[in-house]
A and B are shown apart, each in its own frame.
Chain A
Amino acid sequence: MYIIRNAWLSVTRSLSRNLILCLIIFVISTAACVALSIQQSANLARNRNIQLMDIEAHINIDRQYVMDEMEDSDTTDRASMADTLSDLSSMTLADYETYEAAPSVEDFYYSLTLSLDGNDDLKPLSENEHADLTDLLDSSAPDSNRGSGAPTSVDILATITYQGDFQLIGYVSDKAMGDFQDGVSEITSGTMFEENTSDYVCVISEELATYNSLSVGDQITLVNFQNDAQKFVLTIVGLYKDSSDDTTTATDAFLDPANRILTSYAVANDILDRSEDYEDPSAFVTTEKQDSGKYIEKLLTTNGKAVTPTAEDAQTDSDAAADSTAATTDSAASTTASTTASTASATTSTASATASDSAASTSAVSDSTATTATTTDTDSSTDDSSSEDDDDALTGTIDATYLFKTMSDYEAFETQVRDLGLPDKYTVVSNDVATYEASLVPLDNLKTFALTFLFVILGIGGIVLVALNIFSIRERKYEIGVLLAMGMSKMKVTAQFVLELLMITFLSLACGVLLGSSISVPITNELLASQVAQEESLSSAKVTSFGREVSATYTKPKGGDVEGEVAYISTISFSVDYSVLLQMAAIGIALALLSGTVSSLYVMRYDPLVILTERD
C-alpha cells in the first residue's frame, strides 16, 4: 500500500516537524507508564499477598442488620432494641459445625473461653479493685435479702458486670492456637498439652508463673467467680512466653494476656458442664487430682522429660489405678445428667451410681456419651444464660474459626453458608481481610494518586496534541490540496495522516515505556515510602490522642488477643508487564486517533481549489 509508504516517508523526512510531537508523546507515555505500573503493582501486590496468606473468618451477629429489621417492624425505642440485642444468642457449636460443610472451607477449629477467678494461691497480674468488690459481694451476698426492702450497696454492686480475672481458653486442636502457630507465643518450659486432651492440664504464661511462684507440675485452682464453691484444679504442664509487645498495657486483669490459661476444648467444656450441674464440690476435686496425676505420669513415661511430680501427685499416683474407674464414670455421669437440666441432687447421685455400673466396663461408651453431650450442652448453656439471669453457672464463649486457602474461597463462603441456612442476622467477617486491607492503605492511596495523575496527564496531553495537530495540519494544507488534486480520495488522505500519527505515537510510546518502566520501580517505592511515613505518623497521632493503641484499624483482635501494628506494604518489586503494555498501546491508539480526528475533520472540509488560487 502506497499510503503506508507515503506516511512513512512523510514521517521520516520531516523530522523537525514531528520532533516536538514525539517529545510530547514521549513525556505523556513515560508518565502514563509510571502511573499504570504503579496501579498494576498495587493490584498485583494485593492479589499476590492475599493469595499467600490463609484467611481466617468468623460468623458474627450482624447487629446493624438486626436493628434495621427492628426499625422496619416499628420497634424503635432503645429499651426494646437493647432487649432484642441481648436476647440474641451466639451460634452454638452445632451451628458452627453445620457451616463447616461449606465446600470452600479448608479447615475449621474453635476454642471455648471461660472467665474464672483464682483462689488465694493464684493471683492475677494487673489486678485491680474489681477483685475487692467481688470479695465484698461474695462475703455479704448470703446475708442480703435480695428483692426485698431498699437496695443495698451490695445490690448495686451486684449489677456491675463482673468478669473473672482469668481467661481459661480451651482449644479444640493445635491449629486453633494461632499464636503458637504464628510463633508469637512459644513454650519455654515443660510441654504443650496433647491435642484436645481430656486430662485436667493447662499451660500458663511465664509471667503468671513467676508472679505466683508456680512451675511445671504445680496445680492451680480456678474458681467460678459467681460461686466460690465451684473449684477446678488443673495441673501446669508447660509455661509459655508471649512475645507480642502489647502485654504490658492491660489495665484490667481479664484483659491482660498474661492471665490467659490455655487448655484443651474438652477440659474447658467439661468445666462448663460441671459448673452447670454443680451440686457437690467434693466430686470435682478428687477427680481432677487423679486425672492430672495420671497425666503427669504419662508425661514422664512418654516424653522422658524431667518433670518432677510433687509429693501430693506422687501420692495420688498410687491411688490412681484404684480410682481411675470412678473418675471416668464420674465425668460420664455428670454429662448424662446435664442433658436433663436442673435436676435434684438425689437424682444426680442415683444417675451417677447407675452410670458407674454400666459405663465402667468400656471407656468407649463413656467417650461417645461425652461427645453427644457436648453438643447438647452448648445449646442448653446458652439457653440458660439468656433465660435465667441469676444463674451462677459459668458461661462460655465459642470462638469458631473457618480457614480458607484463597480469597475467592473466602468470598464464596458467604453464599455457601447462606445456602446452608445461615440466617440473615449473622454475617461472615474476617479480620485477616480487614487487616490486610488496612495494610494496603498506602498502596491504595498511591493507586488513587496514580490514577488521578494518569487522567490529568492524558487530559492535558490530549489537549496539547490536538492543538499541535491543528497547527501541523494547517501547515500541510498545501500538501493535502496537491494530493486531492492528483486524485487521492479524502479517505485515503485521512488514512495517511492518521497512519503518520500512529507511527509517531508508537515510536515515542516505545521510548516512553522503556524509560517509564526503568524509573517506575524507584519512583513507586519512593512515593510508597512517603505514603507509609504519612500513614504511620497519622496512626501515631491517633495513639497520642487516645493514649493507647487504637483498635479499630491498627490492631487485629484474635482470640481476645490484641496484636501489633499493621505491617504496611512498603515496597514493590516489579512494574511493567504485558497488561501495562496493552494499556499503553490502547492509550497510544486513543491519542493517535484523537489527534487524527482533527486531521480528518480538516481534510474532509478541505477544498483543493485553495492551492490553485494561492500562487505563492
Chain B
Amino acid sequence: MSILTMENVSFAYDRRTPVLRNLSIQFDQGGAYAVVGRSGAGKTTLLSLLGHLMRPTMGNIFFDGRNIFEMNEYFYRSHCVGLVFQNYNLLPRLSALENVELSMNIAQSGSRHKQVDAEHYLQKMGLTKAQANRRVLKLSGGQQQRVAIARAISTDAKVILADEPTGNLDKQTGMEVLDLMLDLAHNEGKCVVIVTHAQDIAMRCDAIFKLPLVNPVGVA
C-alpha cells in the first residue's frame, strides 16, 4: 500500500540548474528504499522534499492520499515523518532520553508516560538505561544514531527518511543500524527511505532508485 507518492515532481534551484525532473515514485508501507547517485544528483534534495523541508518547483507529494504541501509543515514533520541524519543531529546538551522525549513533546504525544515510552524506544534500539540517561555526546556514533532512530519512530511516524545514516559509522556498526531500520520496515510496517552512497547498504534494500532517475531499478 502506497504511503508516500511523488507525482511529476521537478525541482530546480534556478532555471539553469534543474536537479530533479518530472519524478514520480511510490513508496509503500513496509518497504525499505535506497536512493543512490553521484554527489549533486539530487539525493538530499529528494529527501528534503519528502520531509517538507523544501517545496518542489512543480508536482506534488501525497502522504496517505493528502498533499503534504497543503498540510501544516510542522505537523507533517512532527507526526508523519521521522528524519535521521548522517551527523545524528541530536541536541548535545540533552541526554538520549531527553532527546527522544523532546521529540514526543513536539509531536504533542498524548502519552502520559513519555519517559517510559522513550525508554522503551531506546531499549528497542539496543540502548541500556544507563546509556539512555547519558548526554548524547558521551555516546558512540552508533549509539547516537540509534538514539536518532528512536527519536524518529517515537512519534509513531509512518515514514522514516534517512540521509546517509551510516555515513559516519564503521562498516559493522553501519550494518547494525541498517538492520534496525530494515526491521522497522519489514516488521513494523514503516516506510523507510535511505539516501546512501554505499552500494552494500543499497543492495540490502527492497528497491533502489538511482539518480538522475531514468527508470526505477526495481520495485518491491
A612 touches B91 (CB 8 A): no
**B19 to A: closest C-beta gap in Å:** 13
In contact, B74 and A487 (Cβ under 8 angstroms):
yes
Q: How far is the CB of A550 from chain B (nearest CB, A)?
A: 68
A585 to chain B, nearest CB (A): 28
Chain B: interface residue total (CB-CB under 8 A): 32
Complex Cα distance, B23 from A121, in Å, reads 128
Task: Say whether, besides A608-B53, A615-B164, A485 and B77 are in contact (CB < 8 Å).
Answer: yes
Q: How far is the CA of A6 from the CA of B77 in the complex (A)?
A: 19
What residues of chain B lie closer than 8 Å to A616, measured between beta carbons?
87
Q: Which residues of chain B are near A609, meaning CB under 8 Å?
A: 48, 53-54
Is B98 positioned at the interface, with any CB of A under 8 Å from its CB? Answer: yes
Instruction: Say which one of A9-17, A49-57, A65-73 lies at the interface with B.
Output: A9-17
Flag A6-45 by CB within 8 Å of B: 1 or 0 each. 1001100110000000000000000000000000000000
A527 interface residue (CB < 8 Å to B):
no
Query: Is A487 touching B91 in the complex (CB atoms < 8 A)?
Result: no
B53 touches A612 (CB 8 A): yes
Count A-B pairs with CB separation below 8 Å.
66
Whether, in the assembled complex, B198 has its beta carbon less than 8 Å from a beta carbon of chain A, the answer is no
Interface residues in A590-610 by Cβ distance below 8 A to B read 607-609
A14 to B137, CA, bound (A): 14
A615 in contact with B106 (CB, 8 Å): no
CB < 8 Å: which of B89, B90, B93 contacts A13? Answer: B93
Contact of B83 among A2, A478, A486 (CB under 8 A): A486
How far in angstroms is the closest Cβ of chain B from A7?
Answer: 12
Chain A residues, CB < 8 A from B51: 485
Query: Which of A478, A482, A484, A615: most chain B Cβ within 10 A?
Result: A482
Q: Tell whether, in the assembled complex, residue B78 and residue A488 are in contact, meaning their CB atoms are under 8 Å apart.
A: yes
Q: Nearest Cβ distance between residue A504 and chain B, in whole angstroms?
A: 15
A161 lies within 8 A of chain B by Cβ: no
Q: Which residues in A have their C-beta under 8 angstroms from that of B151?
A: 486
> B107 to A481, Cβ gap below 8 A?
no
A608: chain B residues within 8 A (beta carbon): 53
| Assembly CA distance A481 to B163 (angstroms) | 15
Chain B contacts for A485, CB-based, 8 A: 51, 53, 77, 83, 89
In whole Å, how far is A295's beta carbon from the nearest beta carbon of chain B?
Answer: 96
| B103 interface contact, C-beta 8 A | yes
As a 0/1 sequence over residues 176 to 192 of chain B, the CB contacts with chain A under 8 angstroms (1 = contact) are: 00000000000000000
Judged by a CB distance under 8 angstroms, whether A357 is at the interface is no
- Given A9-B93, A489-B74, residue A615 in contact with residue B87 (CB < 8 A): yes
What's the Cα separation between A487 and B87 when bound, in Å?
Answer: 18
B77–A487 CB distance below 8 A: yes
The answer, yes or no, to whether B62 is at the interface (CB within 8 Å) is no
Q: How far, in angstroms, from A615 to B167 measured CA to CA in the complex? A: 10
Nearest chain B CB to A500 CB, angstrom units: 12
Most buried by B among A14, A478, A485: A485
The answer to whether B98 touches A611 (Cβ under 8 A) is: no
Least CB distance from B164 to A in Å reads 7
Mark interface residues in A365-396 (1 if CB within 8 Å of B CB, else 0): 00000000000000000000000000000000
Q: Hey, which chain A residues are within 8 Å of B107, CB to CB?
A: 487
Are B77 and A9 within 8 A (Cβ)?
A: no
A6 contacts across to B, CB distance below 8 A: 102, 105
Which residues of chain A come closer than 8 Å to B79, judged between CB atoms? 487
CA distance A14 to B91 in the complex (A): 12
Chain A hits for B25, CB < 8 A: none
A608→B89 CA distance, assembly (Å): 12
B residues in contact with A613, CB < 8 Å: 44
Closest CB pairs A-B (n = 4): A487-B78, A487-B77, A2-B105, A13-B93
| With A482-B89, A615-B167 already in contact, 20 other A-B pairs whose C-beta atoms are closer than 8 Å | A9-B98, A13-B94, A478-B89, A481-B89, A483-B91, A486-B77, A486-B103, A486-B151, A487-B74, A487-B79, A488-B78, A489-B74, A607-B53, A608-B53, A609-B54, A612-B48, A612-B53, A612-B163, A613-B44, A615-B85
